[in-house]
A and B are shown apart, each in its own frame.
Chain A
Amino acid sequence: MTPTWVRLAELGASVLFILALKGLSSPKTARRGNLLGAAGATIATIVAFFYGEKFYGGPIQHLPLIIVATAIGSVIGWIAAKRVQMTQMPQMVALFNGVGGGAAAVVSTIEFLSAGNPAQTRAALAATVFTVLVGSVSFTGSILTFMKLQELMTSRPVVIPAGRYITSLVGLLTIGSAIVLVTWLDSAGNASSSILFVLLGLSLIMGLLLVLPVGGADVPIVISLLNAFTGLSVAASGYVLGNVLLIVAGTLVGASGTLLTRMMAQAMGRPLTNTLFGAFTAKATTAAGPAEDRPVKSASPEDVAIMLAYARKVIIVPGYGLAVAQAQNTIRELVELLQAKGISVDYAIHPVAGRMPGHMNVLLAEANVPYEQLKEMDEINPEFAETDVALVVGANDVVNPAARNDPSAPIYGMPILNVDQAQQVVFLKRSMRPGFAGIENEVLFDPRTSLLFGDAKESLTKVVSAVKNL
């Protein structure tokens, strides 16, 4: 049996994890919460080496290799986390999540291979199957979302011909092999390890098939869902190993992650089932709008400066394009200039501005934009009607009225910022290319809309100097 002090230390770590999640729920305590979680994880890792001879069947084996592997993984994780740009953070989280899911699947596989199967109960077998299946789906699914967000592949839904049938078939085979693995024992009472590897392979493919058809704005929801999956998979691996700490930690993440996923889906006005299965039924044709050569009104930086400087109320709608252009500081400069002229300026933050809920808040906070100026969608939407200029910087989908009006649009039902109600709308855009979700935006062709083309940072810099020269 594991020494008592080790189990007590693991109890401590479990409590720290709960406090971590609790802390992370409130801006004041969030950072401390994260550190508590890190402390819990460190304690848990250290005491893992002291499970004792009964557990390890002698002194712990391969100790130097284990320490080296831990060090390698830690260094890779550390460097990756330190180097990543804040704009690329969502895909980093996806990647970290994926490797965690993969690790859980491998852990259960090893335990299965080594346990001398007759010792395993049906319940343990079922937990093994669950870990391998869900962990593998999370692994390949997360890597695919990483590739989509990193733009290593298209971010549009990928609809393979007969995709629904292929997915259903692979799904059935996966479930079938899972059932066989749990129920069918050979004459010696062993479950078949070759079927386990078949299940592993099928689950890996399943992860790809599930995520391929997910596109655009739904990707963050999928990251969150896969995060919850990995949590549950870790919990199941805890059951396989009879380890309480893994059960608690994994379940906490699984449960809170599921709730979080639902909250995100609600913020985007999409039932979760739509996110996952919508693309199987939706046609990819809505992407190309009818409006290729329609006229738009373009404006010079000076025009924009005049519009802004003579407004009474301005609302800024920052989007991912702002972040990509690293224009957070320039926009803050512009806002401060306008405020010095006595103009009321607010930022309207859509719940999924950027690439993930809260992403834009992080990016603007990085640029020292005061917290109070960031207004959430529900708070700011009624104000657009009395706004002189809505300045949309590098955002598109979150202001696209197609979400309100066009039931065939992939984003239909998502709550949007009502910039079309403002007196004038100015878009800073790189090109006429549609947004992440790939849909044409009618507001662009509105006569009250002006477009200033170019890199968001360059455009803003020009606008700032034009405002100064007025």
Chain B
Amino acid sequence: MDAIALLTIFVLSIFVGIEVVSKVSAVLHTPLMSGANAIHGVVLVGAILVTGKANTTLELGLGLAAIVLAAINMVGGFVVTDRMLEMFKPKPRDGEAK
């Protein structure tokens, strides 16, 4: 794809990224950070792509290392976020709050 098309996607993504989180409450800062952290674990895709066409041992070794790291980021990120958010679900407690 040509550079300008990629640049267009990049710039539009910036605006979407800012827009979608602009109204987050402070309570959710940590889970949101953690969820975003998991999403960039998708670099796993890049790691698989470069390893799948690796021609030298160096490239293969580095590629496999990148795959392991990226998979830790992605899977660990989503699982830990889910654990945090598990706490937020409304619990069946007889609330005599105030």
Given that A80-B72, A82-B83, A259-B18 are known contacts, is A38 also in contact with B31, CB under 8 Å in the complex? no
Within 8 A of A (CB), among B20-38: 20-38
Residue of A with least CB distance to B78? A38
- Hey, what's the 0/1 contact readout for A45-86 against B, CB within 8 Å counting as 1? 100110100011100111101100111111011101110101
Q: Would B51 and A41 count as touching, CB distance under 8 A? A: no
Q: Would A96 and B72 count as touching, CB distance under 8 A? A: yes
- Hey, what's the 0/1 contact readout for B65-98 against A, CB within 8 Å counting as 1? 1111111111111111111111111010101011
Q: How far is the CB of B44 from chain A (nearest CB, A)?
A: 6
In-complex Cβ contact of B52 among A44, A51, A84, A242 (8 A): A51
Within 8 A of A (CB), among B46-60: 46-56, 58-60
Q: Which residues of chain A are near B36, meaning CB under 8 Å? A: 21, 24, 227, 231, 252-253, 256-257, 260
Q: Would A264 and B88 count as touching, CB distance under 8 A? A: no
Q: Which residues of chain A are near B70, meaning CB under 8 Å? A: 73, 99-100, 103
Q: How far is the CA of A358 from the CA of B81 in the complex (A)?
A: 13
Q: How far is the CB of B15 from chain A (nearest CB, A)?
A: 8
Residue of A with least CB distance to B98? A372
Q: Which residues of chain B are near A57, meaning CB under 8 Å? A: 53
Query: DSSP class of B's interface residues: helix, strand, loop or mixed?
Result: helix
In-complex Cβ contact of A74 among B33, B71, B89 (8 A): B71
Q: How far is the CA of A89 from the CA of B56 in the complex (A)?
A: 38
Q: How far is the CB of B61 from chain A (nearest CB, A)?
A: 10
| A282 CB within 8 Å of chain B | no
Within 8 A of B (CB), among A8-31: 13, 17-18, 20-22, 24-27, 30-31
Q: How far is the CA of A80 from the CA of B77 in the complex (A)?
A: 10
Q: Would A96 and B76 count as touching, CB distance under 8 A? A: yes
Q: Would B80 and A358 count as touching, CB distance under 8 A? A: no
In-complex Cβ contact of A358 among B10, B28, B50 (8 A): B28
Q: How far is the CA of A65 from the CA of B42 in the complex (A)?
A: 19
Residue of A with least CB distance to B32? A24
Stretch at the interface among A109-117, A406-414, A439-447: A109-117
Closest 10 CB pairs of A and B: A73-B71, A255-B17, A77-B76, A100-B73, A357-B29, A251-B13, A81-B79, A77-B75, A365-B87, A103-B70
Which A residues form the contact surface with B (CB < 8 A)? 13, 17-18, 20-22, 24-27, 30-31, 33-35, 37-38, 40-41, 44-45, 48-49, 51, 55-57, 60-63, 65-66, 69-74, 76-78, 80-82, 84, 86, 89-90, 92-93, 96-97, 99-100, 102-104, 106-107, 109-111, 113-114, 121, 123, 223-224, 227, 230-231, 234-235, 237-239, 241-257, 259-260, 263-264, 267, 344, 351, 356-359, 361-362, 365-366, 368, 370, 372-373, 376
